Amino acid sequence: MNQLDLTPLPEARWNHAAAAHLLNRAGWGGTPGEIERLHSQGLPGAVRQLLDFTAAPVAFTEPDWARPDPDRATKLAALRQATEEQRQKMRREVQQENHRHLLELQQIWLRRMTAEGAPLQEKLTLFWHGHFATSAQKVRSARLMYRQNQLFREHAAGHWPALLAAVTQDPAMLLYLDQAESKPGHPNENYARELLELFTLGEGNYTESDVTEAARALTGLTYDRLRQEPVHRPRLRDPRPKHLLGETGDFDEHGLIRLITRQPAAAAFIAGKLWSFFAGTEPSDEESSALAAELRRHDLQFAPFLKTIFHSVAFYEPARCRRQIKSPVQLLVGACRQLERDLPPAPLTHNSLRLLGQELFNPPNVKGWDGGIAWINTSTLLTRHNLALLLTTGENPLPRIQRGTKPAGSTRARALAIGAAPVERLFGDEDRKSPEALVAAVERRLFQSRLPEKDRSALLRFLESQETHGPKQLRGLLRLAMCTSEYQLT
Amino acid sequence: MQSRRSFLRTSAVGGSFAATVPGFLAGTFQSLSAEAEARSATQAKTGRDTPILVVLQLAGGNDGLNTVVPFANDEYHRARPHLGLAAADVLKLNDQFGLHPALRGFQVLQDQGRLAVVHGVGYPNPNRSHFRSTEIWATASDSQKVERHGWLGRYFDHACSGQDPTVGVALGRTRPQAFAAQKPSGISLENPQAYQYVEPDEGKMSDGGSGRPFYRQMNAEVGPSGGTIQNLGSGHLTVDDPRAFLERTAFTAQTSSDTIQRLAAKVKNEVSYPANALAANLKLVAQLIAGGLPTRVFYLSHGGYDTHTHQLGAHARLLRELGDALAAFVADLNALGQLDRVAVLTFSEFGRRVAENQSGGTDHGAGAPVFLLGGKIRPGFHGPAPSLAPADLLNGDVRHHTDFRAIYADLLEHWLGTPSTPILGRTFPPLRLVG
């Protein structure tokens, strides 16, 4: 591909497969019925609906623990007065409670993804979580992770400088990248460095001195541990002029972000990253320039930029369809949607995502998840095949990850952990007329395309080996189909 | 081709097996040898006689000073009024250094001449970020340079092209960065019981539902049924072809799953291991080695060494696990007749600050000792021990005297038997720790 064709897809090429591609990438995929409904709206209507995050609001009540804790001052005081032993006990209790809340938070988020509400908003929220990777292991507060998650949701398709300003002041981020520790004498450079390197410009587009100066520009911004809010403390502020990205002035974080987003590299960096996430291919330099120009044309607003992408001929090129490796979250959420089944309960989803390498709120490092082929190794692939057993039959073959240092336990005892997939609902009378019709129904539901011949024939031979085609065999059929290489792609 | 020497050794090992274990094992042994022979046309070496490197990361930054303790050094005790270990408590190696009292396992190895200690290992311009420093060790890069591929990945690319994918086995659910290669090789294995396609319980009932034969069929067509994995590894597979990559990984997963299930079930360990996750992993590694898996590198991690607070108890527990697990591993390999072809390297992304902190712990530091264990290592101390005088420290950290890449170079040249310069990008002064 030489030129990135960002012109709108001709109406004649908007078909069921294109609608499936759009829902897979801009959301988490869906049932044949959902895809058909999206298709019937026409491309402009479909994109409009995906970008309208208020169309089908999902009612979620904020858990109590996510709100500011009115007793925090008292608790902190008690902690200060406690003996070392009491303090350790209190810390342990807080940690255990925190762990429960994080499980709950993860499940709330997965439910939002699985719901019909605003799949693109949730997908973007996941993108920003990976982009501004922040780990609860360091932040140690489910409340702050919840708040950051809401921040990403609110700004999901918003304005780049506004999102950067919000993230820079976000308590979880202040803690995670040590801005909370920054002092004027020795400004902590952790956030300043990642802001330039990983969040906005990329290596080679700033100097070491820009990092130091950016850290100075950020002095004064810190974290109020009592109120759990960002705060500006004038006494922590380094007032001397900053020489940043070729300009000089007393920049604060807003000035810093203004300077950064004005850099030529800024638009290309984030536009390219969004393109990779949604289109599934890394843009060339030339393609990045085209994407950057489009984002600049919309004044760094993401919603109109995404609208262009989702309309574009380039996004629907055959070379971009069905060749992105599903992330573990995409796999889990997508499978639950396709199988029209409930999400497994929190401990199971948490364990599955950990085994698959994408524990939410715990990215491996500040670079986030590498994605792509890094999702796949022999261990995670076998886990994907066994997750398919859980989701189709309800039997849980996955080993529990033991915390601490005990060896992993036996996986033999396998109670029926959750309900089975509702196969009666997934296959109609027409589908059950022949093995060929059943396989075609599976292809329609799980792949929206024809399977490679070897997989197709394996499924057919499986059905032919069975005397009946009852629920058990249909679950077996779905599970096998989910073990294909093709199913790992979207 | 198998050399006469390796053949003799294979037979000898097989023989000793047959004398002590039930007959089915001898059968396994024969079939494995047959497999090795079948592969020998395309594979320069089999899994039976080649040296094996086991790399173990002590993740989190192990406190080197409280591991190999300079008990006679006043500076050490001055810097660590609470954490310093007394001369009377350490397990003395000579009149200057002793092992942490929890490392009794290492003392045994030391007495057997199976333990080497390299003092003061690190790299110039040390980085105190776990992530970045781990990356530097994994990719063998300079501190300021980011490399895409791991040093072991480059070894696979350079020296193991076309070999069985189990040439690298990582115990865990991720592919270690050190394995990152142009042509992805190696497998990741967390729990042998979970490392397989699990059949539904309901499929075992009389009216059918079993998908296993068809699962096999789907994943078997990438290569001829003889399992010539070599054909898949060479050339055309790029990361730009996710479908081919998935198919290859699925094929590798299935074949290695079969082998590993078989070996884990049939090869019996000769000693009992302590009950911790590291020991469980090493126990499996011993089974796989004795079973003849054609692996050149095993990669493991032991976590929890980031001891910023209340270090004494936590560190002792970790080192006890480490020492006991490795002592069992070495004893097991010895009993299984495999010790002479195994070298274990332990490293940590950095040591810790010389001075203890206010929370009963230590913060991220720089240089630290590295251990080598095995039947053919050169035991004792290597390299100069760093000074702890405040003026000699680097921002309060132990300076390194031996670049970790010199150890890698030694292991590549003298253990794995391949030129190190193309893999490490330059020539490092020769050390002789192995062989």
Does A138 contact B at CB distance below 8 Å?
Answer: no
Interface test with A, best of B206, B249, B321 (most A CBs within 10 A): B249
pLDDT in tens, B262-279: 999 999 999 999 999 999
Residue B208: pLDDT band (50, 70, 90) is low
On the question of pLDDT at B8 being above 70, the answer is no
- Total number of domains in chain A: 1
Does B265 contact A at CB distance below 8 Å?
Answer: no
The pLDDT score that the predictor gives to residue B22 is 29
Weakest mean pLDDT among B24-38, B217-231, B335-349: B24-38
- Domain-located, residue A437: yes
Does B30 contact A at CB distance below 8 Å?
Answer: no
Q: Give the residue ranges of chain A where pLDDT is below 50.
A: 1, 402-413
B300 forms beta bridges with: B56
The pLDDT score that the predictor gives to residue A367 is 85
Q: How far apart are CA A44 and CA A48, in angstroms?
A: 6
Residue B244: pLDDT band (50, 70, 90) is confident
Does A324 contact B at CB distance below 8 Å?
Answer: yes
Residue B204: pLDDT band (50, 70, 90) is low
Which A positions 335-374 lie with beta carbon below 8 A of chain B? 354-355, 357, 364-367, 372-374
Q: How far apart are CA A416 and CA A419, in angstroms?
A: 7
Amino acid at A175: L
Amino acid at A125: T
On the question of pLDDT at B203 being above 60, the answer is no
- What is the end-to-end Cα distance of chain B in Å, rounded? 22
How far is B379 from chain A, CA to nearest CA, in Å?
30
The pLDDT score that the predictor gives to residue B210 is 76
- What's the longest Cα–Cα distance across chain B? 78
Please, which residues have CB within 8 angstroms of residue B237's CB and are 6 or more apart in sequence? B183, B244, B245, B248
Which B positions 309-328 lie with beta carbon below 8 A of chain A? 321
The pLDDT score that the predictor gives to residue B161 is 82
Closest Cβ–Cβ partner in B193, B215, B277 for A399: B193
- Domain-located, residue A84: no
How far is B86 from chain A, CA to nearest CA, in Å?
25
Does A325 contact B at CB distance below 8 Å?
Answer: yes
Percent of chain B residues past pLDDT 70, beyond the cut: 82
How far is B180 from chain A, CA to nearest CA, in Å?
10
Q: What is the mean pLDDT of chain B?
A: 83
The pLDDT score that the predictor gives to residue A178 is 87
Which A positions 449-478 lie with beta carbon below 8 A of chain B? 454-455, 457-459, 461-462, 465-468, 470, 472-473, 475-476
Whether B201 sits inside 8 A of A414 (CB atoms) is yes
Average pLDDT over residues B81-108: 97
- Domain-located, residue A393: no
The pLDDT score that the predictor gives to residue B415 is 96
Whether A397 sits inside 8 A of B194 (CB atoms) is yes
Instruction: Tell me which residue range forms the domain holding A439.
Output: 423-488
Q: How far apart are CA B389 and CA B354, in angstroms?
A: 10
Q: How far apart are CA B83 and CA B309, in angstroms?
A: 11
Does A379 contact B at CB distance below 8 Å?
Answer: yes
- Domain-located, residue A388: no
Q: How far apart are CA B95 and CA B381, in angstroms?
A: 13
Give the ipTM. 0.92
Domains and CATH numbers, chain B: 50-202+253-424 (3.40.720)
- Domain-located, residue A481: yes
Average pLDDT over residues B373-402: 95
Whether B173 sits inside 8 A of A380 (CB atoms) is yes
Helices H / strands E in chain A, number of each: 23, 4
Amino acid at B181: A
- Domain-located, residue A293: no
- Domain-located, residue A131: no
More confidently predicted of A249 and B308:
A249
- Domain-located, residue A190: no
DSSP B333: H
Weakest mean pLDDT among B91-105, B181-195, B267-281, B357-371: B181-195
In whole angstroms, what separates CA B52 from the centre of its chain? 9
Closest Cβ–Cβ partner in B146, B214, B249 for A378: B249
